[in-house]
């Protein structure tokens, strides 16, 4: 114990320790005196969401648990046991339920007391006293040891705590800002990549118009790109997504087909963060046509529901089945690198979301997706673009990992 500090009990540094009571539900009012329950008490302050009110008459019958400025309000029951808020100095009026204990410090700075309550030492003391989720009795709370420094030193400690917490909060905000900057940088990279500005064009590359002829040799390919608002890069061609890809819809499995084991079934709920997450998936044993089989590297799109327009790449050596309202975007005649297709489509998510949310219910058809314009580069340039994107993304991913470490 530092010099001039003393050990004491919490009851010796408070003029009041006690919890309130809860009036009947019918005694709550639409306005009046704020009535604080455990869901209103947080370590960083009082939360007025879902606050209840009591009348002045009810408040007077509970005047012994009136809340005053600089009180500490401590949750003493349930899963939030130990959560504690300082009542602000400009606080007006309030009262508490039986699940919240008022601690009114004397000759102790409220912020110092609050720091102690949030410390591991206080948490351990609660466990030592035998208190658990069922509650912290007043008797046990009063007898918890408290390290009491001189008043002037309390203010210095509080000042240091506030300084370091402000620094920590700034670091956390800087991390969030950097993560947002990384996200924006990746989006910018995709945008310039799909417009032919990420890598230089090579005159020796086979033009993209020849790729379209692989799909339909008899098609009349026109390279009239003058009417677009941007300059189409040399060797590129504007086409529709449906000309170079086919969007296969899933099979309408019945819930009776679901099994505990078998072939995993990819449903809309399995699409998240540009990947396919099979955690919690269902299985089926029913045999279906090959067009409903999902293979490693396939790009899947949610066509309805809350995740409409979201996409994910299936990365699994084992096959899966495709459920209804999930589309599988398959490349025709190898005119696209799968990786380039993925990056291009990820850049179109916002556009697809706007199309999907135009109506009352989020929904988008395969036809609408296939009508999307696709700026197609030569195959060799696709390879150079993918390599450059992955090189730049790797740099940002390493920063992201460092932030999360």
pLDDT given at position 355: 82
Give CA separation, 201 vs 204, 233, 386, in Å. Answer: 9, 8, 14
pLDDT given at position 198: 97
Q: How many CA atoms lie within 13 A of 27 on its CB side?
A: 15
pTM of the complete model: 0.72
For each of the chain's 405 residues, which pLDDT tens digit applies?
Answer: 888 999 999 999 999 999 999 887 668 888 999 999 999 999 999 999 999 999 999 999 999 999 999 999 999 998 899 999 999 999 999 999 999 999 999 989 999 999 999 999 999 988 876 665 568 999 999 999 999 999 999 999 999 999 999 999 999 999 999 999 999 999 999 999 999 999 999 999 999 999 999 998 876 666 555 566 678 999 999 999 999 999 999 999 999 999 999 999 999 999 988 999 999 899 999 999 999 999 999 999 999 888 888 999 999 999 999 999 999 999 999 999 999 999 999 999 888 888 876 656 678 899 999 999 999 999 999 999 999 999 999 999 999 999 887
Give me the torsion for CA of 233, 235, 240, 244, rounded to 10°: -140
What DSSP letter does each residue of 309-369 carry, written as one string?
Answer: T-EEE---SS-EEEBTTEEEEEESTT-S-HHHHHHHHHTTHHHHHHHHTTSSS-B--HHHH
Residue 272 makes CB contacts below 8 A (sequence gap 6+) with: 307, 310, 312
Q: Using the 8-state DSSP alphabet, how is residue 154 labeled?
A: H
pLDDT given at position 308: 87
pLDDT given at position 306: 80
Domains and CATH numbers, the chain: 6-149 (3.90.220.20), 200-377 (3.90.220.20)
Give CA separation, 161 vs 165, 288, 365, in Å. Answer: 6, 64, 56
Distance CA 298, CA 341 (A): 10
pLDDT given at position 305: 81
């Amino acid at each position: 114990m530092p010099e001039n500090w003393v050990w004491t009990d919490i009851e010796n540094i408070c003029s009041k320790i006690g919890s309130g009571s809860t009036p009947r539900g019918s005694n709550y009012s639409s306005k009046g005196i704020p009535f604080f329950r455990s869901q209103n008490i947080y370590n960083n302050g009082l939360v007025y969401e879902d606050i209840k009110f009591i009348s002045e008459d009810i408040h007077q019958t509970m005047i012994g648990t009136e809340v005053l400025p600089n009180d500490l309000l401590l949750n003493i029951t349930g899963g939030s046991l130990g959560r504690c808020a300082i009542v602000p100095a400009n606080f007006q009026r309030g009262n508490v339920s039986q699940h919240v204990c008022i601690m009114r410090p004397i000759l102790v700075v409220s912020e110092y007391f609050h720091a102690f309550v949030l410390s591991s030492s206080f948490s351990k003391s609660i466990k030592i006293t035998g208190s658990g989720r069922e509650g912290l009795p007043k008797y046990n709370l009063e007898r918890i040891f408290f390290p009491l420094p001189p008043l002037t030193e309390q203010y210095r400690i509080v000042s240091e705590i506030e300084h370091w917490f402000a620094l920590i909060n700034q670091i956390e905000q800087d991390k969030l800002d950097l993560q947002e900057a990384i996200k924006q940088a990746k989006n910018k990279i995709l945008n310039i990549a799909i417009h032919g500005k990420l890598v230089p064009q090579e005159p020796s590359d086979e033009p993209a118009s020849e790729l379209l002829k692989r799909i339909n040799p008899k098609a009349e390919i026109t390279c009239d790109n003058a009417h677009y608002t941007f300059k189409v890069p040399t060797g590129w061609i504007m086409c529709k997504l449906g000309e170079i890809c086919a969007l296969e819809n899933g099979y309408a499995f019945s819930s009776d087909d679901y099994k505990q084991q078998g072939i995993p079934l990819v449903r809309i709920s399995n699409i998240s963060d540009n990947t396919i997450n099979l955690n919690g998936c269902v299985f089926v044993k029913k045999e279906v046509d090959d067009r409903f089989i999902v293979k490693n590297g396939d790009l899947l799109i949610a066509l309805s529901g809350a995740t409409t327009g979201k996409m994910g790449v299936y990365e699994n050596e084992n096959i899966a089945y495709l459920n209804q309202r999930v589309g599988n975007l398959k490349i025709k005649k190898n005119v696209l690198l799968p990786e380039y297709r993925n990056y291009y489509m990820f850049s179109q998510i916002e556009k697809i979301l706007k199309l999907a949310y135009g109506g009352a219910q989020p929904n988008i058809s395969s036809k609408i997706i296939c009508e999307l314009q696709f700026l197609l580069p030569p195959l060799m340039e696709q390879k150079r673009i993918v390599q450059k994107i992955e090189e730049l993304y790797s740099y940002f991913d390493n920063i992201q990992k460092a932030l999360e470490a």
